[in-house]
Amino acid sequence: MKLGILKYSNRKSLSPKLHGYFMERLGIEGEYKTFSVPPDELESFILRSRNNSLDGFSVTAPHKETVIRYLDELTPEAKGVGAVNTVAVRKNKLIGHNTDILGFRKALNGMDLNVENGEVLLFGAGGAARAVVSSLCAMNVSVIYVVNRTLKHAESLSTLIHDAESAELIVVKDSESLSGKISLAINSLSYGVFQPELLTSLPNLKLLYDLNYGANALDPSILDGSYRYSEGMSMLVHQGFESLKFWMQKDLPDDGLTESAIKKLYGEIESE
């Protein structure tokens, strides 16, 4: 298989190592490359991808939403959240999918925290945040508070929960607007933008889950230690495994593969 990741950032991605590990362990022949594409060259890349023998590619910021206009089809998951992190090339058609939704849910399931009927705080309103909101609705949370620099983007997330009877989305500007019942906080913002001071007013906070990982993750020293902290390596691995299934159009046995992949990637970081 010929796969890759579509990105435009100086931030290092572990996706090539992750998918290289998956393909090696599952006996899949192929390659997974990195394509660094500026926003103004996105359309030309998409046009080339139809004819350069790619079987599919991952999509990361800042392309998760803008790539949609160049695709032929969207799965219900991608259409529902308005963001794509996985594209399959099938018979010269580009099909967009979103595996961040399931990837986040599986990652959170491993955190031993029940959020059903609970209240959650989300930092950010980009493509990854949209997938998180969709996933939280499926977990039947009652309230999602959103903090984002651009209020319009934060308010746009409300379109994702119209069909979720139990969920309410509230856009907030400061800690005074937050509920003391919040047990989970999720950061989808880049390091340096996140506002840890907002967490000090949350007496029942149990977990801060950061979608970033490795060198891009939050520095735990800026946190007060009264709650658990996890970076997003588990989500990266789970969404990546779901993407591979989508590209291959079949289910694949996990058998501890995702857990070993998480350990493998942490080992790669520590050795650098």
Residues catalogued as catalytic: 64
Cβ–Cβ under 8 Å, residues 267 and 244 = no
Give the start-end residues of each E strand in the chain: 2-7, 31-36, 56-59, 73-74, 86-90, 93-97, 119-123, 143-147, 168-171, 182-187, 207-210, 228-230
Cβ–Cβ under 8 Å, residues 184 and 207 = yes
* CA dist., res. 213 & res. 56, Å (int): 24
User: 3-state DSSP call for residue 23?
Assistant: helix
Burial class (CB in 10 A: 0-12, 13-18, 19+), 102: buried
Tokens of residue 184, six digits: 């989970």
51: which DSSP letter? T
Amino acid (one-letter) located at 13: S
Q: Is 93 left (phi over 0), alpha (psi -120 to 50) or beta?
A: beta
DSSP secondary structure string for all residues of 149-201? SSHHHHHHGGGGGTT-TT-EEEE-SSGGGS-TTEEEEEE-SPTTT--GGGGGG
Tokens of residue 266, six digits: 């942490």
Residue for token pair 């409300």: 158
